[in-house]
Structure 1
């Protein structure tokens, strides 16, 4: 059996309320990692319709990052590679169209290196 991008499928029993809580936690995690997040806007017209809800993060450097946030309780979405977490149990977020588990999604928000 080959599994590509586990957790990228539909998210059952998701709610917009959970997604809104999650995006606030995600933005706080970005700020703690040194990324300047100026704000977050709900963008329902961009929803994938699979239990993920679209938000646009406004970054201080002028970038806008689209996040498709799963609408499950935060502890079911926020994968941080903790010893008691199994990556196979966590849905992926989509960051500008690419899927990532939470901890890697944070890193994917880093601006492109202008030197490369």
Structure 2
């Protein structure tokens, strides 16, 4: 018997930094569409997990910096948004400040806490 606790949190094979760079741009655009201000996004290779995810720092307009570990697969293989049309088991997780989440929930994790942080 095998037990899967966090599907999609394992290594991402065949990942590339180029795909991750495209993905983080789409992710930042999704945050903006959700009403969150993203000033800039920068690559932080020293923070890479080394498992097919690539580290980026999102500078938010409210002064926060959020670390995103973005899977380096084509965006359609990473961007889980609709449980009615997509199978969550088919998507790798992003890491938002070290918490693993699929895309849809990673967006929500970027919202400020109730105390504004």
- TM norm structure 2: 0.95
CA distance in 1, matches of 2:91, 2:66: 21
Please list every run of 5 or more consecutive structure 2 residues that lacks an aligned counterpart in the other structure: none
Structure 1 moving runs of 4+ over 4 Å = none
C-alpha distance in 2 between matches for 1:51 and 1:114: 33
Query: Which whole-Å CA distance do the structure 2 matches of 1:26 and 1:86 have between them?
Result: 19
What is the root-mean-square deviation of aligned Cα atoms in Å? 1.1
Q: In structure 2, the residue corresponding to 1:91 is in which secondary structure?
A: coil
In the alignment, the residues of structure 2 paired with residue 73 and residue 82 of structure 1 have an alpha-carbon distance, to the nearest angstrom, of 19
Structure 1: stretches of 5+ with no match in the other structure: none
**TM-score, with normalisation over the residues of structure 1?**
0.96
Q: How many pairs are equivalent?
A: 115
| Shift in Å, 1:81 | 1.6
Matched with 1:16 is 17
The C-alpha deviation readout for 1:40-96, integer Å capped at 9, x for no partner, is: 000000000000000000000000000000000000000002533100000000000
What is the aligned partner in structure 2 of residue 36 from structure 1? 37
Q: Which residues of 2 match residues 86-105 of structure 1 at below 5 A?
A: 86-105=87-106
**Which residue is 1:61 aligned to?**
62
